[in-house]
Structure 1
C-alpha cells in the first residue's frame, strides 16, 4: 500500500549525531533525503522541547495549547504536578486532515495526544523507551494495540537500563534497541500496508533512553560508540522501511526536536541561585539538595514507584519559599532554566507590582545570571536569558508560562560558579542522567524547501502542520500561525478542502 505523505519523527536524537551518522555512511536512507533537500534547522517558539513537540503536532502557539512541560502548576497554589498529557485532544493536525475526509495513520507520536475520533488508526506508547510494556499501549480502534501485543509478546526492555548509567548495561540496552526497532519496523510497516493512506505519522523513540543514561557512548572515542553506531544504523533502517512502504512518490518529512546532549545544566539549581540573589550572603540550609541526593541514589526500578512521592515532597518544600520570594524557579526541564515572578494580582500571594517593579526585577535577575562564571575555567554559566513577554506576549499571564528562560552553557560540566555579586555557588547534586535535552531541531525532506516568510537560517516549528495540510489541499486551522513551506507543500497540487 502507499501514502501520499509521511511524517517520521526521531525523538531525542541530537542533530549533530544524525549529521555525523550521515557523514560516516551509517545512515544511508537519511543521507538520500539530505541529498535531495539538505537539512534545515527548526526554530522553537519557546526553548522547551515539550512545547515544541506540542506546537509541531497542533500548529498552535503555546498560548493556545498550554503545554510548556509535563510539570504543570496547580491553580490557586504555588505547587506543580506532573501531567503526562498536557495537550487536550481535538487540536492535532491529523485531526484537521481527518475532518476533511483524509485517512490518517498515527503511530507512537512523541508525547502522544490521544485522538479517539481519528479518521483512520492511532496507536500510542507501544513499547516506548520509558517503561516498555509497563506503560500499556492504547489505540483507536482498541484492537490494534491488543493484536500487536499478541503478535509481539516478548519485550526486550530492561527496567534497570532506564534512569541512570550506574545500573544500565550497555550491551543489554543496545540489544534491546535493535530488537525493538526490528519489531517496530515489521509492526508499523504492516499498519501502513492496511490501506492507501493519505497521511502516515510515525514516531521512533528508541534512542531516547540511550542518550539519557549512556551519553558518553556518543563520543567517538568511547568504546561504547560501536553500540551507538549500531543503534543509529538500525534507526535509519527503520526509516527506510517506512519510506519504502509509503512509496516512491510520497512527500516525506523527517523531524528531530529536543535532541539529547551532555547533561551540563543547572536547571535544578535555579532555586538556589534565586535564594542567593534574594538573601545576599546568607547560606540557608538547602533541603532540596538533600532530597536531590537521596533521589539520585535510588535504583531506576524504585524511582518510578517513588516519583509521585518525590514530586509531592519537592512541591511541599518549595511552596512556602515560592510564596514569600519575589521570584521562584519552575522545575520544567533540565534543558532550560525557568523563573516566574511572584506578581501581585496574578499569583495567589503576589508581592511584586506589575509594570516597572517587575521589569526591573527581571533585568536585575538577568544581569546576575549572566555574571556567573565557572570557578575553574572562568567561562560563563549562562549564555542567554530571554523574557516570555518578548517571545509570546499574549501568554505572559498564563498559569503555566515562566517569565524568564535561562540558556545554559553546555560546553563544560561546572561543579561551582561564582560572581562578585552572588559569591560562590556550588552544585548541590548532579541528577543521575548523563545526557539531557537541548533546544535542537532539524527537518529533512525529499522535496525542496523554499523558506518564504521563515528565517533564512531555518524554518519555524509553526510551519510544519500548515505544510502537511497544504500538501493535501486542506485549509489551515484558523489559529495556526505558520506558513506552508513552499516547494514541499506544492508537490501535491489540488483543490483546497475546507474543514
Structure 2
C-alpha cells in the first residue's frame, strides 16, 4: 500500500526559478503537481529565518519556543557559543503520543536531530547543507545498510570548494550525484513499507544557490562570462535533477495519497556587510588595532583540509577533530569571544543578510558592563543612529535597511540567548564602507557565496490529493502551519502549536 502522505521537501529552491522553468517545460513533474493541486507562498521566520525555517516546519512553533536559528546558541554565562544539543529544544510533530500509532519515515530534514521516539525510520545528517554531525539513524543498524547501498555523502562541506572553475565544476558533479543518491535512497525506503507519513528533504539547491548564483545571474558583480560558459546552467541542472527525483518518488504513491512539495525559502544575490560587521562595531565602541577575525584568511587556508576530512571514515575524522578545533574556525571563534568580554556590544551571528548585536549587559552577561535601564536605552539609541550613518563609499547609499529590537519581537522564551538588535542590510553592492565615526573599512570576502537569502523571500508549496482544493491560495501560509496540517490529515490534532491547518489541503483523512 502506498504512503498515505508523501512530503517531498527541498531546501532554498527559489520560487521564481521554479515558475520560470515550469513555464519553459524543464520541470514537468512540478508542473503537473502545480496544475492539479493547491499551491501557495510560504512565509519564513522574520530576521532569523534561514536557520529557523526547518525547525519552524517540524515543530510547528517559532524560534521563541524552539530556540534555534543557528546550530549554536550564545551562552551569556561564558560569552561564547555552544552547540545546540539536542539540535532543537522542541520535539518534532511526529514524536507526539498520537503519532506512536502511525508509521513514519523521516529522511534528512535540516537542523533536525535524531528522534529516539519515532515509530518507524529516521535518517539524520546524510548529505546535508551546513551539517556538523555524522550520519545517525533509527533503527541504528540502518546506518550500515544505508552506507553499503548508497555510500557516503559525495559533497561534504560545499563551502570547502574553492572558487576556481575546476573546483566548482567538481562541486557541480558531486551535487548532481548526491541528488541521484538521495533519489535512490528515498525510493528504496519508500517502497520498503506501508508508511503513514514519508518525509524526505533534498538540499542540493541550497548549496547550488550559494555557490553558483554569480554564474547564473549575468547582472551579478562577480559574474564571470568565461566560467559561466561552462557552469552558468548549474542551478538549472540541479533543479532539473530535483524534478526528476520527484518524478521517481511519485511512482510510489497513488490517487489516494496526499502529496506535499515544499521549498522552505528562496535564493537570490548575496549583498551583505557581515564579514566586517564586528569590525564596524569595534570602531563604533572605540576599539582600535587588529581584529581577531581578520585572521579568517588563516582559517580559509584550512578549507581544503576540512573538505578532505569530510570524506574520511568517521573514526579518523573524530580523531582529527581536536586539531581542527585548535587551528580552524573554532580557535578563531575563541579569540573573538575572548575579546567581546571587554566590549559594550558585539556581533552575534544570525545569518548573512542580517547581523545580530548583543549588549554586554550587567546582571545578564558574566562580564556585563552596561547597566540596564537608562544607560542601556541611551546606548542603543546612539548605536542605532551610528549604524544608520554607514554608507557605501562609492554610491553613498546607506547599507543598513532596518534595525529591530528583539524586545519588539516575540522571542521571550529565548531572549536571554538571542541578539538584542537585528540589523538588516540593504541590497547595496558594497565597494567600501564609511561613516564619520568609523572612517573607511574595505569589504572582506571570506566565503565563496554569491547567492544568499533575504528575509523578504518566500518559500512555496504544492499539494495534491483526494481532499485538496486546487488553485492558488489567496494568502501565504506559515512554515508553522505544516505540522498541524500533516497531522490533521491522519486524524491527529496537534496540541500546543502556533500553526493552523491549511484548509485547502483537505479535512482529516480517516
Fold shared by both chains (TM-score > 0.5): yes
Aligned to 1:435: 451
Cα shift at 1:46: 4.3
Aligned to 2:43: 42
CA contact (8 A) 2:44 2:265 kept: no
Provide the C-alpha distance between the structure 2 equivalents of 1:121 and 1:358, rounded to a whole number of angstroms.
50
Aligned length: 481
Aligned to 2:203: 205
Provide the C-alpha distance between the structure 1 equivalents of 2:369 and 2:358, rounded to a whole number of angstroms.
12
Deviations 1:378-435 (A, max 9, x none): 2221222222111224136322x111112122452x1312234443332245334333
Aligned to 1:288: 292
1:181-330 aligned within 5 A: 181-219=179-217, 222-223=228-229, 224-279=231-286, 284-302=288-306, 307-309=324-326, 310-330=328-348
CA contact (8 A) 1:339 1:405 kept: yes
Deviations 1:73-95 (A, max 9, x none): 2452112244485315x710121
Aligned to 1:144: 142
Provide the C-alpha distance between the structure 2 equivalents of 1:295 and 1:84, rounded to a whole number of angstroms.
25
SS at match of 1:207: helix
Aligned to 1:178: 176
CA contact (8 A) 1:71 1:331 kept: no
CA contact (8 A) 1:97 1:474 kept: no
1:436-475 aligned within 5 A: 436-439=452-455, 440-446=457-463, 447-448=468-469, 458-475=476-493
Q: Is the counterpart of residue 123 in structure 1 residue 123 in structure 2? A: yes
Q: Is the counterpart of residue 343 in structure 1 residue 361 in structure 2? A: yes
Give structure 2 stretches of 5+ with no counterpart: 219-224, 310-320
- Cα gap change, 1:417 to 1:127, in 2 (>3 Å): closer
Deviations 1:304-329 (A, max 9, x none): 66652334433332234322222111
SS at match of 2:349: coil
CA contact (8 A) 1:162 1:209 kept: no
Aligned to 2:222: none
Cα shift at 1:449: 8.5
Aligned to 1:415: 431
CA contact (8 A) 2:39 2:472 kept: no
Provide the C-alpha distance between the structure 2 equivalents of 1:349 and 1:158, rounded to a whole number of angstroms.
38
SS at match of 1:353: coil
Please provide the CA RMSD for this pair: 3.0
Deviations 1:364-384 (A, max 9, x none): 323322332211122221222
Give structure 1 stretches of 5+ with no counterpart: 495-499
| 263-272 or 158-167, larger mean C-alpha shift | 158-167
Cα shift at 1:40: 0.9
TM-score by length of 2: 0.84
SS at match of 1:203: strand
SS at match of 1:123: strand
Aligned to 1:497: none
SS at match of 1:339: strand
Deviations 1:1-40 (A, max 9, x none): 4122222221233333333332332122222333333431
SS at match of 1:351: coil
TM-score by length of 1: 0.86
SS at match of 1:197: coil
- Cα gap change, 1:185 to 1:372, in 2 (>3 Å): same
Q: Is the counterpart of residue 72 in structure 1 residue 70 in structure 2? A: no
CA contact (8 A) 2:43 2:459 kept: yes
| 100-109 or 314-323, larger mean C-alpha shift | 314-323
Cα shift at 1:136: 4.3
CA contact (8 A) 1:255 1:441 kept: no
CA contact (8 A) 2:88 2:111 kept: no
Cα shift at 1:330: 0.8
Aligned to 1:482: 499
CA contact (8 A) 1:296 1:432 kept: no
- Cα gap change, 1:314 to 1:299, in 2 (>3 Å): closer
- Cα gap change, 1:256 to 1:367, in 2 (>3 Å): farther
1:43-122 aligned within 5 A: 43-74=44-75, 76-83=77-84, 86-88=87-89, 91-96=91-96, 99-122=99-122
| 24-33 or 157-166, larger mean C-alpha shift | 157-166
SS at match of 1:245: coil
Q: Is the counterpart of residue 331 in structure 1 residue 335 in structure 2? A: no
Provide the C-alpha distance between the structure 1 equivalents of 2:175 and 2:306, rounded to a whole number of angstroms.
22
- Cα gap change, 1:464 to 1:161, in 2 (>3 Å): closer
Aligned to 2:26: 26
CA contact (8 A) 1:346 1:397 kept: no
Q: Is the counterpart of residue 404 in structure 1 residue 406 in structure 2? A: no
1:350-389 aligned within 5 A: 350-389=368-407
Cα shift at 1:348: 0.9
- Cα gap change, 1:472 to 1:463, in 2 (>3 Å): same
